[in-house]
Amino acid sequence: MALPEKLAQWEDWDGAAFEVGRALGIFDEEDSFTSVKRVFWTNNPLGNALHEVLHQLTAAGVLELQDEPDMQFRWSASGAAEAKKAG
């Protein structure tokens, strides 16, 4: 399943970063979130980079961000289409 489908609903930031990591091939489809959660819950270059990717995709309009009740992301179909046109 592609990233737009994986992030069709609001997802906490760590789950969204996990799906971005899967889409990039960093995590295999067999990897569960719980087996790699340390990547997101500790201060390390990979987890920090994936978190930054979420914010960059939000700035580009590909993802939407909501801060409350928790930091969550979801795919923005209209924003992704606009980003493609602008690119």
CB 64 within 8 A of CB 73: yes
Give how many domains the chain has, as a whole number: 1
* CA dist., res. 48 & res. 17, Å (int): 10
Domain interval for residue 15: 3-86
* Identity of the residue numbered 76: S
Model pTM score: 0.88
pLDDT score for 84 = 65
Q: What is the pLDDT of residues 1-58, one digit of tens each?
A: 699 999 999 999 999 999 999 999 999 999 999 999 999 999 999 999 999 999 999 9
Q: What is the pLDDT of residues 62-87, one digit of tens each?
A: 999 999 889 999 999 886 666 566 66
